[in-house]
Structure 1
Amino acid sequence: MGNAPVRIVTIQCLDASHNKSANRTMVTQLIEHERIRTTLPKAKELRRVADQVVTLAKEATESSRRRAQGILRTPLAMEKLFKQLGPRYELRAGGYTRVLKADFRRGDGAEMAVIEYIDRPGEIRRSKPPAQRVAIGKEEASIGSN
């Protein structure tokens, strides 16, 4: 026992390159379909990458476009990201995805989850509107249900 360091395992595949490739494929599919079903650990890891890509789309610079192109696999996903998702989340400060627990997979009993973009037609659960920001001098105050 003793004071052994606690190790948090976020690796879902055998090596880092396979993990990166799986995340790239899943974020591309998430952008194209706006909702996918996967295991809970993969969905939680995917949420990080999916939110980063939407933040790149909100910047809409040439540099951010190239960085997103290095992550996404299809031109269709690039087009949808910069023309639909970026403008959709322009007022939202973060938290563009939602992970909902689903059932257990029949074959091996893995816990499944649904990850989806919020504020879209046909979403499973309605989201709160983004907090409105009001300028007060040099600072901004957020007005909302926080």
Structure 2
Amino acid sequence: MAKFRKLGRPAAHRVSMLRTMVSQLVKHETTIRKPTVRQKAKEVRRVADNMVQLGKEGTLAAARRAAAFVRGDDVLHKLFTELAYRYKDRAGGYTRLLRTRIRVGDAAPMAYIEFVDRENELREAKPSTLSSISYLLLLLLALLPSCSSSLLL
């Protein structure tokens, strides 16, 4: 069974809140106007990454599973067209959590959540490790022209 945070709410309220927050995140691609509590943002990140993964699958079953969770046909359409196309080469990590201030009233840690690889990002995305490893391998092969490629494998 998958672990999840209870967030101090009954199950129906928690699921409804996550559905709304994920739908708004997909619709606006960021929570720039209003930061949220960091624990909520971590749960939204987990669910939003799963929704983008369903969008990348592109099957009818995946569309039905996503439609059962997100709110609005426009959000569903954006998941399966724009976001699926944008992240077709990315294996995961479609969202980014940006820590921000501590809330004054109760000292709760706050955070923004946004999609990576989009226009007007709050912070630029780090290069994927696969591309940096392949870059280092190509650099190593370029520096060692005298060695045959069979020796390296």
TM-score above 0.5, yes or no: yes
Give the residue type in structure 2 aligned to 1:143.
S
2:17 to 22, 33, 37: 22
Q: What is residue 60 of structure 1 aligned with on the other side?
A: 58
Q: What is residue 33 of structure 1 aligned with on the other side?
A: 28
CA RMSD of aligned residues (A): 1.8
- Tell me which stretches of 4 or more aligned residues in structure 1 moved more than 6 Å: none
Give the residue type in structure 1 aligned to 2:29.
E
CA distance in 2, matches of 1:9, 1:73: 21
CA distance in 1, matches of 2:36, 2:100: 9
Give the residue type in structure 1 aligned to 2:70.
L
1:92 to 87, 90, 93: 90
Query: Could you tell me whether the CA contact under 8 Å between 2:30 and 2:114 is conserved in 1?
Result: yes
1:115 to 113, 116, 124: 113
Query: Could you tell me whether the CA contact under 8 Å between 2:96 and 2:116 is conserved in 1?
Result: yes
Give the residue type in structure 1 aligned to 2:125.
S
Structure in which a larger fraction of residues adopt helix: 2
Shift of 1:9: 7.8
Query: Could you tell me whether the CA contact under 8 Å between 2:97 and 2:113 is conserved in 1?
Result: yes
CA distance in 2, matches of 1:144, 1:51: 27
Give the residue type in structure 1 aligned to 2:76.
M
Q: Percent identity?
A: 45
Distance 1:100 1:144, change over 3 A: farther
Shift of 1:110: 1.8
Query: Could you tell me whether the CA contact under 8 Å between 2:4 and 2:43 is conserved in 1?
Result: no
Of structures 1 and 2, the larger Rg is shown by 2
Shift of 1:144: 5.3
Q: TM-score, normalised by structure 1?
A: 0.81
1:10 to 2, 5, 13: 5
SS of residue paired to 2:98 = strand
Distance 1:63 1:144, change over 3 A: farther
Distance 1:91 1:10, change over 3 A: same
Q: How many pairs are equivalent? A: 129
Structure 1 portions without partners, runs of 5+: 1-7, 133-141
Q: TM-score, normalised by structure 2?
A: 0.78
